[in-house]
Amino acid sequence: MKNKKVLGVIIFIILVVIVVLLKLRMDIENGDEVLADEHIKGLTTVYVATGGGKEDFLADKDVQKILKEKYKLNVIFDNWSNGKTITAPLIREYVGLGNQEIVKRMENGEKFTIRSEGVTKYDALFTSDQRFYDYYKLQPNKEAGESDRYAVQGGGLTLNTPVVIYSWKEVVDRLEAEEIVSLKDGVYYITDMNKLMQYVLDSKPWKEIGLSELFANVNIASTDPVTSSPGATYYGILLSILCGGEIMDEKVNENLPKLKEFYIKSGYMNNTPADLFQNYLMSGMGGKPMIVDYEKSMIDFSNANPEGFMQVASNVRILYPIPTMWNSHCFAYFNENGKAVYQALEDPEIGQIAWERYGFRTGVTGGSYDVSKVNLPVPQTITSVVTSLKMDLYNKLTGYLSGKPEYVEEVEGTIDGE
């Protein structure tokens, strides 16, 4: 009994020593990073309000090293939702950072703007959706509760990733037989999106196209377009297809009811693409035969979890809709410090890291590097693309899908009037 107590004490002491050593090591490593930054003379700190989807890339140690050592920039990327950049004052205090006295005053209901004294302003905005970049450059709509904005001096497209559909080998084999999918140069393309959409609208069972093991109807899972930017982008593609590429009021009003029927038949939707992608991988063909996501998701997954990727690599399929649409991350700078970051992010070495590790393309057609580096069947360039919808059309699209009276009356009144 006494020996057991002694052994227990020894084990406890060993565990304490291990914890202390681990903490000491972490402190040393953190200290080394601080010292490394201190040795870089003349660093300029720049604050960037940043939309989601690129957090890991911007936090990449090599990206940060290039920004600091080559460009002398200490860039702080604060997380913002795209919508909040329009409706909320773009100051660090709004997200709980910066001047803590002002943060407390805001918590107590006091109002602040970008012009208020003592607030911590941003040097740039890095959206994760081009429509918010375009919209931010306009004057705020005060009647709609929009906040004052910084004057945008310049900027533009920085990172790109196309909308794709992920599926499984057996499903894609059957879609090829249905002449919906085609294989070209090792890449799968959805060459008849209209036919695939009609299968969803007709509630066509999977078993009717030879997949007897799937008991549900043909469906393509996506995030909710009403609450999620990826879902809205996907439904923008569908609306463009239904309108034959002619995005005019008459065409939009004519096809929105059909798109709403598609929306209803799509059933339950995840709110975040990360959850949807994880469900796709974990539930397999039986749970998620097809999902909508971005090309970067599979590249990011293959790098972050190589063992997990190897378990599914031979069975997953990446399908490129014809046409598709870019999810464009755009950078708007408000001053010279912000401009310096915008120019630094165009560095070829940073662009290569963005592609190889995180799946972000750069350039107009997204093909300014060797795609073979990612070891996945992806095209060198993306050329069949429809233009992203403007903010007012997205508002109309999502407003109609969610049943907002003003949009329902506008659309259905136009149709009845015809």
Residues 294 and 382: beta-carbon distance below 8 Å? no
Residue 119 to residue 95: CA distance in whole angstroms: 12
Q: Which parts of the chain have pLDDT scores under 50?
A: 28-36
Spatial CB neighbours of 54, under 8 Å, sequence gap ≥ 6: 126, 128, 159, 329, 358, 360
Residues 181 and 361: beta-carbon distance below 8 Å? no
Which amino acid type is present at position 123? Answer: D
Q: Supply φ then ψ for residue 21, to 5 degrees.
A: -65, -40
Sort strands 44-50 and 124-126 into parallel, antiparallel or unpaired: parallel
DSSP string for 266-312: T---BSSHHHHHHHHHHHHHHH-S-EEEEHHHHHHHHHH-HHHHHHH
Distance of CA 159 to CAs 91, 197, 326, Å?
24, 29, 10
For residue range 174-205, what is the model confidence (pLDDT) as tens digits? 999 999 999 999 999 999 999 999 999 999 99
Residues 138 and 392: beta-carbon distance below 8 Å? no
129 — alpha (psi -120 to 50), left (phi > 0) or beta? Answer: beta
Task: Give SS3 for 68.
Answer: helix
- If 0-12 CB within 10 Å is exposed, 13-18 middle and 19+ buried, where does residue 409 land? exposed
Residue 94 to residue 80: CA distance in whole angstroms: 10
Hey, what are 175's tokens?
Answer: 């879609």
Residues 402 and 224: beta-carbon distance below 8 Å? no
Q: Supply φ then ψ for residue 122, to 5 degrees.
A: -95, 155
Residue 189 to residue 322: CA distance in whole angstroms: 7
pLDDT at 387: 87
User: pTM value?
Assistant: 0.86
pLDDT at 29: 46
